[in-house]
Structure 1
Amino acid sequence: MTTEAYARPLPQSAAITPAAAARRLLAKHWDGRLPVVPEQIATAEGLRVERLGLFEDYEFSGEFLKSQRLIYVNEREPMVRQRFTLAHELGHYALGHENSPRDTSAEFSSRTGDPKERAANQFAAELLMPAEAVAKLVQSGRFGSVDELAKAFNVSKVAMTYRINNLGLLV
C-alpha cells in the first residue's frame, strides 16, 4: 500500500473534520504501510511521547499537554490500547484542542458525551484505520474476518468492529 492510494490533500476550502485532520497527517507522514505508527507521526509533528505507569502510579490511559507538546501514554495497558490512546491524544493536538488532562477509558468509549472526546476518537479511528485502506482490504476479500483485519491494522477487535460498522462494510 502506498500513501498516494489513501492520503489525498484536502482542498483549502474543506471544513476540518476529525477524519480530514487525520488524513492530512497521514498525507504528511504515513508511508502507506500497515499498521500506521502513531508515535512516528507524533514525533514528526514535533511532539514528545512519554510512557508512564510501569514504575509510576499512573491511573489514566493518556494525556495531551499542549504547552509542553507532550503526550503521555499508560504503558501498563495492552499495546492496541496504547496505540489508540496515542492516536486519540494526537487527535487533540491536530484538532487544536487545549490540554486534554488525563483521559480515562470512559473518554475512549463511543458513548462519551464530550464533543472533543468524540472528535478525538473519530480522529484516532481514521488515523489507525484509514477508511480507504479498510475498504480496499475488505473488498479485496483477502481478510475473511474482523480478527484478521484487526491484526493487519494492529487495533483491537472491538475497534475494528466499530470501524467496519461505521464505514458500512461487511466482512
Structure 2
Amino acid sequence: MSEKRMGQNMETTDGQYLRLIELLANYDSALEQLQKGFQDGYIQLSRSNYYNKDSLRGNYGKDYWDKNYTGQLMAIVEEKSSKPVFDIVKRKVQDTHENEKEQDNTLIHRKKGPKSNEQKAQIPKLKQDYDPILMFGGVLSVPSSLRQSQTSFKGCIPLIAQLINYRKELLTLAEILSEQK
C-alpha cells in the first residue's frame, strides 16, 4: 500500500515539476515578447523625435504631455478559483463633461420649453475614448512613427499582466514543491 501511495505522490510531484517547467518556458517567452515590444516602441519614439528635431516644442516626452489626461486602462485583481488573477480592463468613460453641457443647453434654450423624454431617448450620445496621441497634434499631423510607437507600447500592456500572473503561479508552485520535500 505504501508503494502505491509513493507512486501516486511521485506522479503528482512529477506533474507539478512539469507544470513548473512549462510556466518557466511561458514566462521566458512572454518576457522576450515584452522586451521586443519595448525595444520597438523606443526605436519608433526615437525615430519620431529625430524627425521632430526642428520643431519649437522639442522632443516628444514629459514636457510635451497633457497633465489633465486620465488613463483609459485600469489594473484589477480578481479572485478566480482561490487564487488572485491580475487583469487589465478599460476604464469606464465618465460623463461629467456631458452633464455640464446639458445644463448649459437648458439655460440657453429655456424659453423653447422642455424636451420630451422620447426626443431625448431617440438621440443616443456615444462618447468615444480619447486617444492620447492626439495631444501631440491633430488626427492627421501625428507622425506615423509616433503612432507605431504607441501601438508597440500598447501591445506590451497585456504581456505585463500575463507576466505577473505567471510569476504568481510560479511562486505558489515553488512554495508547494518546497513544502513537499
Q: TM-score, normalised by structure 1?
A: 0.25
Larger Rg computed on CA atoms: 2
